[in-house]
Amino acid sequence: MQLDPVLVESAVVFSMVICVHCAVWSQLSWCCIALAIQAFYVQHKWDRLIRTGAAVFQFRPSANSGVLPASMVLPLLGLALRGHCIAVGNVHMERFTMVVTVIGMMLALFLSLIALGITRPVPTNTCVIAGIASSAILYTVKQTLTVSEVIEVLEVLLIFVYLSLILLYLLPRCFTPGEALLILGGISFIINQLIKRSLSSSGNTNADPLTYFLPVVVLGLVLLGIFFALLFVFMESETWSASLFFHTMTGVLGLGLLVPWLSLLTKHHPITWLMHFITETNTRLWLIGYWVALSLLAVAVVMHQNSHRSAGSKKHQASTTVRKYFHLLTVLTFAPGLALDRALLHLAAVGCLSVFMFLEFVRCFRIRPLGAPVRRLLTLFLDERDSGPLILTHIYLLLGVALPVWLTPASCIPKGGGLLPYAGVLAVGVGDTVASVFGSTVGEIRWPGTKKTFEGTATSVFAQIIAVVVFLIADSSINLNASYSWVVGSITMVAMLEAYTSQIDNLLLPLYLYILLMI
């Protein structure tokens, strides 16, 4: 009998949940276990809906629903952060992380409710299990959160509902249910935090301006994408007049809304502050020059691969090894930034995200003059996960390595963050790259039920351990104390998740490694 990969994936996620529970051991950690159990059952209902075509929206094919691994990310992240906040006595951040944990649980429960509501016949046993878990979670929330915190949770849930209705309709086959929960839930949380900060901006005079760029950029990209996706349903997007309107409205949104909004939040003019920030040290200028050179190298790789195709090659897709060149370039980009200037890397990653998404809008809407060339160049690098109107794998790669950098400046985390900022580079840049290359070239022993190989997973673990040693030597701010064995164990668990998950590993693996390294 062939082993079901979903069961192994679930077992790995459960082991991570147990690890966090043992480290934190609170009412909310018990609730996370209850949430994981009900998400495990609900996941199979979503799988059935996807297979039979009975789901409300069109989700990404050739993948399971991924409800369990996605449901646990935000609650576990909040729990792990809360443990650090309790240790340092930061009451404000402790309450914030508690809200993060509850928001993650509520989003997962809402998704479960949708699945159970549209499953026919109604799964009685799963409904009972979900009802018990939901009752326990709601009772705990009632005992731990204040009224204002409950309102904040409901605000995020409301934003999530509206974003899901809009984006899942506009972007069919781009996400699995779990990926939609993770991505849209994260966007909803960021937007809600931005609104809160804007309403209380008069009291944020001592806040770091750097922390405001990401939420403002995310909101701007969401508004831009929704506006033009709805507009181009009713008008042709490939004409010069439509393209001129697109570029004009993008400029109006950026200069007329986002820049003034940043000024309000940061108490500085964003462009003036940005120029001063970039030129503050010579190291930043050298890093920017180095990153520009790597960007030109990445463009050269894309052009070179497309020139081979246009020269008459019958191969229409880049190989796994070629696609992993970009993972290597990501490591070469992020590792020096992490060691030399994390603030600049934080800001550069935000800028890179905005450029990637803008070019994706240009490609998707066929905006002149770059729409057709970008579409032609990127077609070579598509894989089976790019089945919807958007090409997101390269954006997921950026998010995977950048999210640990964006998350690490939390005030409860010890200075430097240890290996936490390196979680994305380790899991995706090193681990996933080595696993794919070695697995596809020398791998022979396959994990039961998957195409992944034992050799690929083993070399992935060894490569990440070697990378940790290199980071320890290159970055003096990393202090692992006596936690070497836990680092190896965390890397191994995440490598097993990579071997069995059908979700977007570029996004999922760094977050789980970040959580495990935090406890």
Task: Read off the pLDDT of residues 317-339 as tens digits, 9 standing for 90 and up.
Answer: 666 667 778 888 899 999 999 98
Mean pLDDT lowest for which of 104-108, 122-126, 233-237, 369-373?
233-237
HEC secondary structure over 134-163: HHHHHHHHHHHCCHHHHHHHHHHHHHHHHH
Q: Would you give the distance in Å from CA 45 to the centre of its chain? A: 24
Residue 60 and residue 176 in contact, taking contact as beta carbons nearer than 8 Å: yes
Higher pLDDT, 488 or 122: 488
What separation, in Å, do the N-terminal and C-terminal C-alpha atoms of the chain show?
A: 37
Q: Which pLDDT score, from 0 to 100, does residue 318 have?
A: 65
Binned at pLDDT 50, 70 and 90, residue 445 comes out as confident
**For residue range 382-429, what is the model confidence (pLDDT) as tens digits?**
777 777 788 888 899 999 999 999 988 666 777 667 889 999 999 999
Residue 452 near residue 499 (C-beta atoms within 8 A): yes
Q: Which residue is associated with the tokens 């649980």? A: 105
Which tokens is 17 given?
């949940």
Q: What is the mean pLDDT of residues 111-126?
A: 87
Say if residue 157's pLDDT is above 90: yes
Tokens of 429: 């840049």
Q: Is the pLDDT of residue 381 over 80?
A: no
Q: Which two structure tokens, joined as six digits, stand for 513?
A: 């490694």
pLDDT of residue 179: 92
The two three-digit tokens of residue 103, written as one number: 């928001």
Q: What is the pLDDT of residue 399?
A: 94
Percentage, residues of the chain above pLDDT 70: 94
Q: What is the pLDDT of residue 163?
A: 93
Predicted pLDDT at 484: 84
Helix (H, G, I), strand (E, B) or coil at 481: coil
- Mean pLDDT for the stretch of residues 357-362: 92
Which 3-state string (H, E, C) describes 368-400? Answer: CCCHHHHHHHHHCCCCCCCCCCCCCHHHHHHHH
The burial of 253, by beta-carbon neighbours within 10 Å (0-12 exposed, 13-18 middle, 19 or more buried), is given as middle
Contacts of 355 (CB under 8 A, 6+ apart): none
The pLDDT > 90 percentage for the chain reads 46
Q: What is the pLDDT of residues 9-25, one digit of tens each?
A: 999 999 999 999 998 88
Which pLDDT score is estimated for 352? Answer: 94
Q: What is the pLDDT of residues 459-505, one digit of tens each?
A: 999 999 999 999 988 887 787 765 788 899 999 999 999 999 988 88
- Which tokens sit at 386? 């790019």
Examine the pLDDT at 264 and tell me if it is beyond 90.
no
Instruction: Judge whether residue 374 has pLDDT over 90.
Output: no
Query: What three-state secondary structure class fits 409?
Result: coil
pTM: 0.94
Which residues make beta-bridge pairs with 453?
Answer: 446
Q: Is the peptide bond before 121 cis (omega within 30 degrees of 0)?
A: yes
- At 314, the pLDDT band (50, 70, 90 cuts) reads very low
Calpha distance 337→292 (Å, rounded): 13
Give the type of residue at 156: V
Instruction: Output the CA angle 424-420-209, nearest 5 degrees.
Output: 90
Q: Cα-Cα-Cα-Cα dihedral of 173, 178, 181, 182, to 10°?
A: -110
**Tens-place pLDDT, residues 493-517:** 999 999 999 888 889 999 999 999 9
Give dist(CA 373, CA 381) in Å, integer: 14
- Cβ burial of 92 (10 Å; 0-12, 13-18, 19+) is exposed
